[in-house]
Structure 1
Amino acid sequence: MSADPAAAESWKLTLPCTREEAEALSDDIGLLAMLDNPPALMTSEVEPDDPLQWRLDAYFEGKPGKETIALVRTLVPSAAAATPILEQLPAEDWVTLSQQGLEPVAAGRFYVRNMASDPEQAGFRNYLITAGQAFGTGQHETTSGCLRMLDRARRLGHRFGNIVDIGTGTGILAFAAMHLWPRAYAIASDIDPVSVEVTEKNARVNAVPLGNGGGQLALVTAAGAHHPAIIGRAPYDLIIANILAGPLIDLAPSLCALLEDGGTLILAGLLDTQADRVVAAYRRQGMRLADRIDNSNQHGQWPTLRLRKRPTIGRQRPVRVATQVTGETPGFGSW
């Protein structure tokens, strides 16, 4: 029996929204979740650092009806008076296609390809991170900036033995940290279970050992740092968090509680105009800014920050993560 032609069609519905509405969509898609075929939702900035100028793209298999379009509208109340844009697309995986054909990236000692047909480069640690459903193929400035910052930390002689990557995306930053400090214990988490599956696949493709021992990468699905496996391994001497400015600020108390005195924190996913607020949030937790790399593209500047936790003066007590610090910040995704 032949397939229904309408079922093979891909349609995109576009509406304006605010950043607050966009962030809320990561946690709750309302009644759309009850549909047999829920749409894939993607949000993006229209004007950099303008919280009112965001956009929602909803991708459907088959043309959505008036009732379904009305459900999408309920997710973005600010667009009540806006005319939705509905267009038919070829039946493709648009998240994957948006990453295909990107040029390989050299960042520090790392060379990241997203197509197997691209040749490896001598003198680099090569990684193949194929296009897929998680962010972090290395091409975005936040990811390449973190790779450069990790490389710089190693060149400066830093040594780490207990590492966590919060919001791992494709796993590339955790992989890079393990290459630089191969005996370290490492764990990577993401709020999106698909990202955790992608990271596991990428680990096998790139010969990154998985497991709970030294030199192995453990994987968990978690909102922020709220997971027994993450808390149980604390304190960490290196924490990597490449997410968004808002969640980074919200996570400041819990991330710093997981970090040992003198430990290092690498933050990214923020714009230049947001850096002061992020740094201020971590200074209130006893951190100091130790290094910064600025990365630019057509949408603005994306700084990568390296902070150090100030040592406690006097006798150091055993570290315990406070029970009231959950480390949850719903509604964020990884870069």
Structure 2
Amino acid sequence: MNDAVASVQSWKVTLPCTRAEAEALDGEIAAFALMERPPVLMTSEAADDETVWRLDAYFEGKPSPAAIKLLKTLVPSASGTKPLIEALPDEDWVTMSQQGLEPVTAGRFHVRNIASDPELPGYVNLLIEAGRAFGTGQHETTVGCLAMLDRMRQVGMRFRNVADIGTGTGLLAFAALHLWPRAHAIASDIDPVAVEISADNALENGIRLGDGAGRLALVTAAGADHAAIVGRAPYDLLIANILAGPLIELAPSLCALVEDGGTIVLAGLLNEQADGVIAAYRAQGMRLAERSNRGDWPTLRLRKRPSIGWKRPRRINSAARGEAPGFGSI
């Protein structure tokens, strides 16, 4: 997902597992989703015996007994095995844990995490190398957002002013600019490391930085609390791929930034959290226009209902409704 990694002591927990258990752990695990910093899970087979597999879980900070107990429930074959728990040296453990990730294809986008992996002809190829920030495209929520944005473009939606709140590596903002190349765009993250990584990734992927049309502005901000974010409002498209709690807490401020008829794409929540998130945004004048699920992770597209009276916001461009006629416009 779109979070950045703090500089804290990292730990690794290793357990044996079967191949079937390893295959079932593909992607990130819903059981850890409510943790502030969930572990990164990696599985691998023994070099000399393909029937022997192992699970390595990388934690930021020493894992609690509850976290280790939860981890063991993912690999029942190791129920009687004592896990190997070790502190890691002060190295870039995110990079180490994400080496060997397979490319991801969603809609027209093909996201690679290793430069040596070949590009896919006929797709928009993006390179987001494993590094100091999360958001490489592997998580189901990021894939869901990429697919949602691509589908919105396919049905003719047009956007001119885009915000990506909690950008992580910048991937979703890059995708939006590929889909709507004349849009103004801004991306933010609470962690300055993520903003630095996003700038590096922008350079790698040919995304121009700056304030003009077709360019991406990057800022460090908690939620939408930044003069540049507020000053560029109202937006006709706002993307937020963060956790359910912050999404609910930020609902008033995010919705206030969106113009009448504008669109918000939300992700980072679990299926059982969707009703609460939807209710929070309905209370701010949004309606659910589309929901797509990838496993336990839904992606929500909401549209802002027109307001009335003197508080009604003015659009930057009256033609930029954020949704083409015939696709659910009020």
Query: Is this a same-fold pair by TM over 0.5?
Result: yes
Q: Residue deviations 1:36-87, cap 9 Å, x none? A: x953599x978356779x779345xxxxxxxxxxxx79xx8x99xxxx9852
C-alpha spacing 1:141/1:46, structure 2 compared with 1 (3 Å):
closer
Determine the C-alpha separation between the residues in 2 that align with 1:91 and 1:286: 47
Q: In the TM superposition, what whole-angstrom CA distance separates every residue of 1:230-249 from its partner, at most 9, and x where no partner exists?
A: 00000000000000000000
> Counterpart of 2:297?
302
Which residue matches 2:25? Answer: none
Matched residue pairs, number? Answer: 265
Tell me the CA shift for residue 88 of structure 1: 4.5
Does the 8 Å contact 2:30/2:270 carry over to 1? no
Structure-2 separation of matches of 1:290 and 1:206: 31
Q: Take 1:308 and 1:113, find their aligned partners in 2: how far apart are those partners?
A: 31
Verify: 1:57 aligned to 2:56, yes or no. no
- In structure 2, distance between residues paired with 1:41 and 1:221: 28
The SS at the match of 1:115 is coil
> How do 1:133-212 and structure 2 match up within 5 A?
133-212=132-211
Point out where structure 2 has 5 or more consecutive residues left out of the alignment: 13-27, 40-57, 68-82, 316-330
The residue identity in structure 2 corresponding to 1:143 is T
Distance in 2 (alpha carbons) for counterparts of 1:121 and 1:173: 19
One-letter code of the match for 2:258?
L
TM-superposition CA deviations, 1:119-161 (whole Å, max 9, x none): 0001100000000111111111000100000001101111100
Work out the CA distance in 2 between the residues paired with 1:93 and 1:154. 37
Report the equivalent of 1:213. Answer: 212
Deviation at 1:317, TM superposition (A): 3.6
CA distance in 2: counterparts of 1:49 and 1:114, whole angstroms: 22
Amino acid at match of 2:305: R
- Aligned partner of 2:235 in structure 1 is 236
Residue 31 of structure 2 is aligned to residue 47 of structure 1:
yes
- Deviation track 1:80-117 (CA, whole Å, cap 9, x = no partner) reads xxxx9852547752211222111101100000000011
Equivalent-residue separation in structure 1 for 2:267 and 2:87 (angstroms): 35
CA spacing shift, 1:248–1:133, aligned 2, 3 Å: same
Instruction: Please give the per-residue CA displacement for 1:141-193, whole angstroms capped at 9, x wherever unaligned.
Output: 00010000000110111110000000000000000000000000000000010
Q: Per-residue CA shift, 1:255-304, capped at 9, x if unaligned? A: 000000000000000000100000000000010000111112xxxx1000
Residues 180-212 of structure 1 show CA distances to partners (whole Å, capped at 9, x for unaligned) of 000000000000100000000000000000001
Indicate conservation of the 8 Å contact 2:161/2:185, yes or no. yes
Contact 2:108 2:124 in 1 (8 A): yes
| In structure 2, C-alpha distance between the alignment counterparts of 1:306 and 1:187, rounded to whole Å | 19
Give distance in 2, aligned partners of 1:155 and 1:200.
28
Letter matched to residue 129 of structure 1: I
Note if contact 2:234-2:313 (Cα within 8 Å) is conserved in structure 1. no
| Separation in 1, partners of 2:291, 2:309 | 30
Deviations for 1:4-59, whole angstroms, at most 9, x for unmatched residues?
xxxxxxxxxxxxxxxxxxx9xx9xx9xxxxxxx953599x978356779x779345
User: CA contact under 8 A between 1:264 and 1:307: conserved in structure 2?
Assistant: yes
Q: How does 1:236-255 map to 2 (within 5 A)?
A: 236-255=235-254
Cα pair distance change 1:312/1:89, threshold 3 Å: closer
Could you say which residue in structure 2 is the equivalent of 1:332? none
Match of 2:150, SS state, is helix
Q: Which amino acid counterpart does residue 203 of structure 1 have in structure 2?
A: A
Q: Which consecutive aligned stretches of 4+ in structure 1 deviate over 4 angstroms post-superposition?
A: 48-52, 88-92, 313-316
Q: In the superposition, relative to structure 1, how do residues 48 and 196 fare at CA in structure 2: closer, same or farther (>3 Å)? A: closer
Q: Is the 8 A contact 2:235 2:257 kept in 1?
A: yes
Contact 2:11 2:87 in 1 (8 A): no
Gaps of 5+ in 1: 1-22, 30-36, 60-71, 321-335
TM-score w.r.t. the length of structure 1 is 0.71
User: Structure 1's 138 and 46: CA in aligned 2 closer, same or farther, altered over 3 A?
Assistant: closer
The answer on whether the counterparts of 1:178 and 1:184 sit within 8 Å (CA) in structure 2 is yes
Query: In the alignment, is the contact (CA less than 8 A) between 1:49 and 1:273 conserved in 2?
Result: no
Amino acid aligned to 1:47:
A
Q: Secondary structure at the match of 2:31?
A: coil
Question: d(CA) in 2 for partners of 1:174 and 1:255?
Answer: 16
